[in-house]
Structure 1
Amino acid sequence: MLDKLKKHISQNFPFLEKSKLLMATSGGIDSMVMVHLFRELHYSIALAHCNFQLRGLESFGDQNFIQEYANENEIPLFLTQFDTETFAQDYKLSTQIAARELRYNWFYELLETENYDYILTAHHADDTIETFLINLSRGTGLEGLLGIPAQNDKIVRPILPFTRAEILVYAKENNIQWREDSSNASDKYLRNKIRHHLVPLLKELNPQFMESFQKTQSHLKESQELVEDAAIMVYQQVAREEGETIVFDLNQLLRLPNYRSYLYQWLHEFGFTAWEDIYALVESQSGKQVYAPNYRLLKDREVLMLSPILQEKEVEVYFIEKNVREVNFPLNLTFSRADDISGASNSIIFVDQDKLVYPLILKRWEEGDSFQPFGMNGKSKKLSKLFKDEKLSLLEKENCWVLWSADQIVWVLGIRQDERFKIDNSTKNILKIALQ
């Protein structure tokens, strides 16, 4: 097993050889074998142990075991304790998910504060089978059948190719001590049910099940790489990026015979789960939306628009004094004297400066705002109606700013000037306002 691991690291993780490694160590057989292997290979390691306080005295027994092992072998050790059940209740998580969140957050904190390079966990081949079957039983896409990745950012799983049986043999041959977790014997958790009942049955039906499964995993990974390559190429034809917003052209999308698969590939990493709602969005009316925790997908006429969800903020109000010539935040505006009104456009307006009341006010539009559009002879119009006529998307509406003089709108920025501040025969001072 030692030679096999050495070869595996050389081929797949050569960067570990000169790295400072933090080893997640529970005290169980898997992590103790991993620690032993890396000590034999003379790597620079430290141990990190979490006491989740879920098994009473047994949890503290694990902690004491790790402390004694680290002391005897002169290995740096980091310990922490979590009130896992309280954390799970506070954040409405399952105990297992809560423990995972606490564990990995702490690991990453140690990497930063203690200057370690990678975190090593002792996941092995049987864990991959169990994860595969759990995801299969719940329904999943192709990536859910790929099992546990060998590396995920700073997390490396070096003994993933080894089976539980190989680890047990190695532990006995090398007289390695470990702690048994009593919860592993319980069928309370789905993973344990699969481990105790389903996997042994599969191995009984096919004595070469592990080898067959690993071949299947290899084929699935190759298929996933093909899918990802295709998704990237088609994305370039269908999508365009506008700042933080991604716009998908529905005319291009609907030409694809399997557009649902592409949508899944593009959107699942943003946290979406309501796939039937997303697929229905393609054919729905404008304005319909589907939400993920931090993103939303909006149908706007002939496109789908993916954008981050803006957090609720206090009303942003900015005051502009008379002598100001340039504003750089939240928008780039310039104010300058002019002799004529040539060059007027949606992004440049000319107003009678003597009609303005200072300070000018810059803020986002609000429902109920109205103005007198330039060229409409004093007729009032609500901004909501203006946006509808201009066919603005929901995102464009949300990002629309308005320049005010006292209680009157001077300019709906980038869209329309107000009639009341236009240049006329009596104008003596022309002010040019430009949106950069």
Structure 2
Amino acid sequence: MLQQLRSYITKEQLFTAADPLLLAVSGGLDSIVLTHLCVQAGIKVEMAHCNFQLRGAESERDETFVRTLAESYGIPLFVRRFDTETYAAAHKRSIQVAARELRYQWLEELRQERGLSFIATAHHMQDNVETVWMNLSKGTGIAGLHGILPVQGRIVRPLLFATREEIKAYADAENLQHVEDSSNTTDKYTRNFFRHQVLPRLEEVLPEVVKNTGSSIERFREAEILYRQAVEIHKKKLIEQRGEEYFIPILKLQQAVPLATIAYEILKPFQCSTAQAAQVVELLNSEPGKWIATATHRIVRDRKWLIITPLEATASTHFIIEEAQHLVQLPDMLLKLEQLAREGFTVPATASIACLDLQQVQFPLILRRWKKGDYFYPLGMAKKKKLSRFFIDQKLSLPEKEKVWVLESHKRIIWVAGMRIDDRFKITDKTRKILKLELA
């Protein structure tokens, strides 16, 4: 067992001989065996025990047992008592989740405080197999099949190579004492149900199910590495970032194989669920303008692109502009206003600058986001046009439409900012003064 431990540490590159560990010791069989093995291997360790105060006298018994154990080994021990039930209620967590959060938060704080390299837990092969079967049953995808990783950040699991039977046999051979957690006997927890009901039934038909699944886990981990590499290749081919927005070419995505999996993986960073990814695939064959919202983003079907844009507040923002005002700071740009004489002035040929007949303009002006029903008379046209139709003609995507500002004078739109002025406010031969508007 000791040799297997050393081989596993080397194989998985868990830590070096110079790395001191913080052992999480509950007093149960697994953590007792891990402690004994580390001592026998000459690994420098310190011990930590969590008392969650959930089992009355039994919790006190466990703490006393671990204190005695640490003293017998001459190992520094740190104990923390938690008011787990209060924490669970305050943070709306189940007792199990609350205990896990409290445990790992404290262990990491203690590791840093003590200057130790890693936290070592006593998870073993059976724990890993249970995790994989639970993940498979819940449908967590390929990421769930790697089970409990040997190294995860600053947490290492040196006993993952060993079965529960091997651990018990070692404890018996070394005459190691331990305490039993009575909560492990109940089937009300999902893990215990798999431990006591599911896996024993599988073992009746397939006696080597634990070891066989354990071997498969290693292959799953390697397959996941290849899978991730392939996903990254597709991401580089399919996703183009432009500022805060992301563009995916519809035709290329439609040709991707396997489509459903690739769509899910490239959309997952935008909080897209499996069900929503399937809806996005359907979106590829829908008409432009349709969209799906995730918790953080909106995925819009444009003509040639899927456009992923961060969710923004939908309320319109209005700015009142008085005649003496020269600057307006918008959330995404700056508007400059200037009054000029007509004589000798040349209108710049740029969309970011608009020049209007000041005599036709009535202050105060209102600068706002466009809304449904808005219309204006585009420069060069005698007939009015709805902005929604104008945007279609300009081939604007939905995210682009939502960023459009309009400048209004006496309930008439005089400028679709950065795009087109209203024909009724254009400069003519009769113009004497100009209102120059510039976006910066």
Residue 436 of structure 2 is aligned to residue 434 of structure 1: no
**CA contact 1:82–1:102 (8 Å) conserved in 2:** no
Residue number in structure 1 paired with 2:282: 280
Q: Is the alpha carbon distance of 1:287 and 1:368 closer, same or farther for their aligned partners in structure 2, counting shifts above 3 Å?
A: closer
**CA contact 2:33–2:167 (8 Å) conserved in 1:** yes
Q: How many residues align?
A: 430
SS at 1:283 equivalent: coil
SS at 1:254 equivalent: helix
**CA contact 2:47–2:75 (8 Å) conserved in 1:** no
Alignment match of 1:340 (pick from 346, 353, 370): 346
Following superposition, the deviation at residue 262 of structure 1 comes to 1.3
Residue number in structure 1 paired with 2:146: 146
Structure 2: how far apart are the matches of 1:276 and 1:172? Answer: 53
List per-residue Cα deviations over 1:176-221 (Å, max 9, x = no partner). Answer: 4433211211122232222123323444544544443233223333
| 1:190 partner amino acid | T
Consecutive unaligned residues of structure 2, counting only runs of 5 or more, are none
SS at 2:200 equivalent: helix
| 1:394 partner amino acid | L
Residue 308 of structure 2 is aligned to residue 303 of structure 1: no
Following superposition, the deviation at residue 399 of structure 1 comes to 3.6
**CA contact 1:272–1:291 (8 Å) conserved in 2:** no
Alignment match of 2:401 (pick from 397, 400, 404): 397
Following superposition, the deviation at residue 161 of structure 1 comes to 1.9
**CA contact 2:84–2:98 (8 Å) conserved in 1:** no
Q: Is the alpha carbon distance of 1:359 and 1:130 closer, same or farther for their aligned partners in structure 2, counting shifts above 3 Å?
A: farther
Q: Is the alpha carbon distance of 1:98 and 1:382 closer, same or farther for their aligned partners in structure 2, counting shifts above 3 Å?
A: farther
| 1:32 partner amino acid | I
Residue number in structure 2 paired with 1:416: 420
| Bigger mean CA deviation after superposition, 10-19 or 120-129 | 10-19
Structure 2: how far apart are the matches of 1:118 and 1:354? Answer: 75
| Bigger mean CA deviation after superposition, 281-290 or 312-321 | 312-321
Structure 2: how far apart are the matches of 1:21 and 1:43? Answer: 8
List per-residue Cα deviations over 1:235-294 (Å, max 9, x = no partner). Answer: 333332223333222211222342112113323453513154344333344444444443
Structure 2: how far apart are the matches of 1:385 and 1:289? Answer: 19
Q: Which has the larger radius of gyration?
A: 2
Structure 2: how far apart are the matches of 1:67 and 1:348? Answer: 77
**CA contact 2:376–2:412 (8 Å) conserved in 1:** no
**CA contact 1:320–1:360 (8 Å) conserved in 2:** yes
| 1:224 partner amino acid | E
Structure 2: how far apart are the matches of 1:358 and 1:69? Answer: 83
**CA contact 1:371–1:418 (8 Å) conserved in 2:** no
SS at 2:188 equivalent: coil
Q: TM-score, normalised by structure 1?
A: 0.78
Residue number in structure 2 paired with 1:196: 196
Following superposition, the deviation at residue 130 of structure 1 comes to 0.8
SS at 2:331 equivalent: coil
Residue number in structure 1 paired with 2:258: 258
| 1:165 partner amino acid | E
Structure 2: how far apart are the matches of 1:198 and 1:174? Answer: 31
Residue number in structure 2 paired with 1:127: 127
Residue number in structure 2 paired with 1:330: 331
| 1:340 partner amino acid | T
Q: Is the alpha carbon distance of 1:396 and 1:212 closer, same or farther for their aligned partners in structure 2, counting shifts above 3 Å?
A: same
SS at 1:77 equivalent: strand
| 1:434 partner amino acid | L
Percent identity over the alignment is 35
